[in-house]
Structure formats: C-alpha cells, structure tokens
Chains A and B, each alone.
Chain A
Amino acid sequence: LAKTTQPISMDSYEGQEVNITCSHNNIATNDYITWYQQFPSQGPRFIIQGYKTKVTNEVASLFIPADRKSSTLSLPRVSLSDTAVYYCLVGVTIAGTYKYIFGTGTRLKVLA
C-alpha cells in the first residue's frame, strides 16, 4: 500500500529554520509535489510546489532529490504564527489507478 509519510510533530523556536521531510516512494512519474499548511478549523492553504531540484518562493523552499522519492519543505525563519500542521501532497499510481495522497501531516509548534 503506497504511503506518504512525515514526522508526526516538530518543535522549534522563533527565528529558526525548520525542515520537514516527506517520503513518497510511489510518486507518479509526471506528478508534482505540493505542500500545504493547515490551521485548526480551516482548509489547507497552498505553500509551494515543485517537480525536481529546488524551488523557492517568498515563504518557503522545497528541495527534491533526483529520485523524487522524498521532498523537504524548508521554512527559513519561523514565527509563532507558523504553528500549524503541514502536509505534502503527491499523485501516485496504484494498480493502474491515479490517486492524490496527502502525507500523514507534521504538527509544527513554534515556541517563543
């Protein structure tokens, strides 16, 4: 059974860099990797998306190795408002069927 796994939780202090890794062994060949942030009682919010190597936007960077079986979301200098659950999302092909699979989610807690 294809699984997309992430660390369950992480703690960090304000101003630090945080790296969250997602393992996705069954990623479909042409599929992108997307990361989302979710606050309680809200829908997930798009952070960043990439296919390979490195992508950077105004809030995060995404590192994807050549085999694309994992990806790392990097938040450069976290603040208290970054406390949330972070999910990766990939498309996988299982028994010939394409499906979107969210990761297990990483609960990030930023401390003052």
Chain B
Amino acid sequence: DAGVTQSPTHLIKTRGQQVTLRCSPKSGHDTVSWYQQALGQGPQFIFQYYEEEERQRGNFPDRFSGHQFPNYSSELNVNALLLGDSALYLCASSLGDPNSPLHFGNGTRLTVT
C-alpha cells in the first residue's frame, strides 16, 4: 500500500520562473494539504483540497495556487518565484474528516536562485 508520493524530489529554478509540484495521496485518502517548510522551521500551511475544491487556505499570496484531480492527486503551482520561496514543500493526505491525521510525503526540495 503506497503512501504519499511527491515529485520531483529536488528542483532548481530561477527567480521569476514558475514551478509545478505533484502529489499522489495515500490509497483511500480523498483530501490533500500542502505545506511549506523553510530550513530549520516548522511546516506552514498553504492550502487544503477536498472534492477538487480549495477548502482552507493559509497566509500565502495568490502566486501559490493548486488543483486536485478526480483521482485525488494534486498539484501545487507557484508563479513568479522569489528567492524566499526556497523551501521543502510537503504534501499530506487524509480522509475528509478535518481531524483525520495527516500522512506526509517526503517533500520536494525547491531551490530558487
């Protein structure tokens, strides 16, 4: 039973570019959340998708957008990359209940130069 998988594992981009990160949830899970984790910091909530809709959103600008597909997989898009966007981007899946524990992937390490 595969857990949460994310791709790519590492990515290097230049300021101003756009990036798309991908996530496949754990089997049986229908909810996907995205987090940004800067080096030495705790994860920061970006947004959560359920039934292909953004259900909740953290304090991130509109440059951060997402999508959930009918098979529950998800993408995170970041436009106009800034140096400060360099971080580990974590995807977590869960059941639809807001209190369902999150299952995390190992993240995508994004470096913006």
Contacts and interface: CB of A to CB of B under 8 A. Distances in A.
Residue among A30, A34, A36, A100 with the highest chain B CB neighbour number at 10 A? A100
Contacts of B107: 41-43
A91 B44 CA distance: 12
Contact of A44 (B43, B48, B56): B43
Interface string B90-101: 101000001101
A43 B106 CA distance: 4
Interface string A82-105: 000001010100000111111111
B42 A91 contact: no
Interface in A23-63: 30-32, 34, 36, 41-46, 49
Nearest to B99: A32
Q: How big is the A interface, by class?
A: 20 to 34
Interface string A1-31: 0000000000000000000000000000011
Interface in B51-67: 56, 58
A100 B33 contact: yes
The B interface, classified by DSSP as helix, strand, loop or mixed, is: loop
B16 to A, nearest CB: 27
A49 B106 contact: no
Interface string B1-32: 00010000000000000000000000000000
Residue among A31, A43, A44, A101 with the highest chain B CB neighbour number at 10 A? A43
Contact of A34 (B35, B41, B101, B105): B101
27 contacts: A30-B99, A31-B99, A32-B99, A34-B101, A36-B102, A41-B106, A43-B4, A43-B90, A43-B92, A43-B106, A44-B43, A44-B102, A45-B104, A46-B103, A49-B101, A87-B42, A89-B102, A97-B56, A98-B56, A98-B98, A99-B58, A100-B48, A100-B56, A101-B45, A102-B35, A102-B44, A105-B41
